[in-house]
Structure formats: structure tokens, C-alpha cells
Amino acid sequence: MNLKTVLWLVVFSLIFDLTFAQGDENLLLQYRKGPDITGYRKWNFDLHLQGVYIGPNGDFTNPKIGYAFGSNVQYKYSKSIGVSTGVKLLSVSYQYKLNDNKTHDHLSYLSFPLSIRVFPTKRTHFETGLLYHHLIKAKNSAIVDLRQKSNFYPDNIFKNAFGWLFAVHYSVWKKFQLSVEYRFFKKSTITNNIQKNNFNGFLLGINFLILNPNKKAQ
């Protein structure tokens, strides 16, 4: 069983556990309280900053800490489900650990998500969806383009790529949330190159909601 399969199982088991962890007694208490009349905001926006630990598939590189920042817009169909999209700048860094290559790669992407969000509790929500990564630049710590004597890779090495994300968000204080995300993205690769277009890894972030999520817009 590979890492991707294990992570799928972990994420879905967490969703299942948190959704049904209330138990019969808690559900009974909720029904005794009567209908939930608290409001929720259909539209909201966030700004986020994330630490990134992403690298190519395989054991020939060591991921290094990168960063990401951006903004999302969210629309809730109901109190428990919504959709989200946005844009972020994603920086990916890693070092080769080959006998004849100890250089670093630094890749920059614009990342565009289209995801579904599920809100099982007031503080917690889960997210999964499609990703598109638009490559901005790809460079190495050594000269890799001998013709141009440049650190930047030629255009045919790294490419734009589609992927998928799984994330958990937790509200820690007012409009601030913490998030943990796993994502992977890939594109066909020239087989005789050590540079690969198949990536996976984690992002740990803090999100700031522009509007109060628990109040309806007037």
C-alpha cells in the first residue's frame, strides 16, 4: 500500500470519526434544545499563509521548507456544505541526494483550487477538490542550461500540472483558523530525466477570514 492510499484512508476515517463522534447522548441533548437558529454567512473570503513540505515522488530527493500564500472565496449552500476557489503562490524546494548531484531545485507555481467543503462542527471543516498548478519558474542552484549559462530550466523540463487536495481546518480564535493539507500533482515526465513532474506533500497554514463566518450578511 503506497503513501497516497494510506493518506486517503486516514483522511476519510477522520471525517467519519468526527462526523459521528457525537454519540446518541449528545444528539439527544441537541434535539432537546430545539431548532438551531444561529446564522451563517453564505459568502466569505480568506487570506492565508502556509509552510510547504513538498517534493517529487521517489527517494532521490529531500524536500525543503517552502512557503505559500494566497486568498480563497467560499460559498456555503447550507450550514454544513459549501464550495471554494481561489489562487495562491506556491514555492516548492528540494535537494537531490544522488552521489553526483547535491543541488537544489526551486519551483514556483500559481495554484488554483476548486473544492468542496464539509462543516461537521462549528469549529471544524474538511475540504477536498481539484487543483491546477501553473508553473511560473523553475531553477536550480547550479547552471542547468549550458546554452544560456543559466540556473533556470528550459521550458520542456517542468510543466503545468493537475492535482488533488485533502485538508482539515480548525477555528482557533474568532476569524483565525489553522489548516493541515495534503496535496499531490503530476504531469508526464521525460523518462531519462531525474527532474520529475510528480509531486506530493503537506502544507501547514494559518487562515484569516475577512468576514465573521457566524453572522448572516444584512
What CATH number should be reported for the domain holding residue 106?
A: 2.40.160.20
**Which tens digit of pLDDT belongs to each residue from 154-212?**
888 899 999 999 999 999 988 999 999 999 999 887 666 788 889 999 999 999 999 88
Rounded to 10 degrees, what is the CA torsion of 42, 174, 22, 26? Answer: -100
Say if strands 81-96 and 61-76 run parallel, antiparallel, or are unpaired.
Answer: antiparallel
- Residue 172's region, left for phi above 0, alpha for psi from -120 to 50, else beta, is alpha
| CB 117, CB 100: distance < 8 Å | no
The answer to whether position 3 is within a domain reads yes
**Which tens digit of pLDDT belongs to each residue from 100-156?**
889 999 999 999 999 999 999 989 999 999 999 999 999 999 988 878 789 999 888
Residues 96 and 17 in one domain: no
Residues 81 and 166 in one domain: yes
Domain of 5 in residue numbering reads as 1-33
Residues 68 and 124 in one domain: yes
Report the number of distinct structural domains present in the chain: 2
Residues 84 and 162 in one domain: yes
Residues 109 and 179 in one domain: yes
Residues 155 and 54 in one domain: yes
The answer to whether position 215 is within a domain reads no
- Residue 216 pLDDT greater than 50, yes or no: yes
Residues 91 and 6 in one domain: no
Residues 29 and 51 in one domain: no
Residues 17 and 51 in one domain: no
Contacts with 172 (C-beta within 8 Å, 6 or more apart), sequence order: 178
Per-residue model confidence (pLDDT) at position 217: 55
Type of residue at 155: D
Residues 2 and 81 in one domain: no
- Residue 1 pLDDT greater than 60, yes or no: no
The answer to whether position 157 is within a domain reads yes
